[in-house]
Amino acid sequence: MNPAVEISVVIPVLQGDDSWQELLPDLSAFPESTEFLFVSNGPQPAGWEESLQGSSVRPRCSWQQSAIGRAVQMNQGAALARQPFLLFLHADSRLPLESVAQLIKSLQAAPGAVHYFNLQFQEQSFFLMQLNRWGVWFRSHCLGMPFGDQGLCLQRDSFFALGGFDESAPYGEDHLLVWKARQQGIRLHCTGADITTSARKYRERGWLKVTLTHLWLTACQAMPQFFLLIKERFRSWFHRRAQSPSS
C-alpha cells in the first residue's frame, strides 16, 4: 500500500448501537497513516477502552460526540479530519483486507472521483437478499446512485466544496451528496471490491416492506436531482459552445 494515500475514516454511531465493536478488527487493514473518527450523539461508551485494548489502531481512534443525526455526525467528523481523503463508513459495515487494498489502488487511479464498494449482505444465502444485491449493483453502476452503506470515499476538499451532507434532509443525505457530485462533474468510481452490511432491518421489518419503501423514497429524491443534473449538463454544453471560436 502506498503510504501517500492518507485517509480519515468517519464512522457515525447511533447512541446505544454497539455494532462498531465488530468493525474494529477490519480497521487494522488500513495504512498506518489512517485515522478513525467515531462520531456519536452519545458519550464515549463504557466499553470503549476495553474494546480497543491490544488493538494496533487504538492510538488512531477517537470518539467524538455531536448532535443526533447521521448527516450532522458525518459533517462533524469531516471537520475534525486531518487527512486529504475521507471515507464515510457505517458502523455495521465489514471490510475485508483485500477491499481496503483495492480502495487504495482506486484512490491512486482516480483521486478526484467519488469511490464506492459493491454491496453484499451478511445474510447473503437468503435469495431475496441476493435480489437486493443485484439491485444495488444496477443502481450504482447503471444509474450512478451508490449509497452510504457502500462506503463513499472522496477528497476532503471536494467534500467541503460540495457543501458536505445536507443536515436538513429528512433522509438520503448520502444519496444527495452523490447527486451534487455528479452535477458538479465529479465522476463515480467503483473500487471493484466488496463491502458487507447487515440485513437486520429486512429481517425485523420485512423484506417486501423495506425494499418497497426504499424504492419509493429513492425515486422521490432522485427525480428532482436528475432534472437538476440535466439542467447543469445543458448549461455546461451551452457555455462551451459560447466559448468556442465561431467556424
Q: Give per-residue pLDDT as tens, 35-87.
A: 999 999 999 999 899 999 988 999 999 999 999 999 999 999 999 999 999 99
Give the per-residue pLDDT at 227.
Answer: 84
Q: Is residue 25 part of a domain?
A: yes
Q: Kindly compute the dihedral angle of the four CA atoms of residues 86, 89, 94, 100, in this order, to the nearest 10 degrees.
A: -10
pTM over 0.85: yes
Give the per-residue pLDDT at 33.
Answer: 96
Give the per-residue pLDDT at 228.
Answer: 82
Structural domain boundaries enclosing 117: 7-204
Q: Is residue 32 part of a domain?
A: yes
Q: Which of 48-62, 160-174, 221-235 has the lowest mean pLDDT?
A: 221-235
Long-range contacts of 231-236 (CB under 8 A, 24+ apart): 232/183, 232/184, 236/185
Q: What CATH number did the domain enclosing 129 receive?
A: 3.90.550.10
Q: Do the Cβ atoms of 179 and 225 come closer than 8 Å?
A: yes
**Which residues pair with residue 64 across a beta bridge?**
39
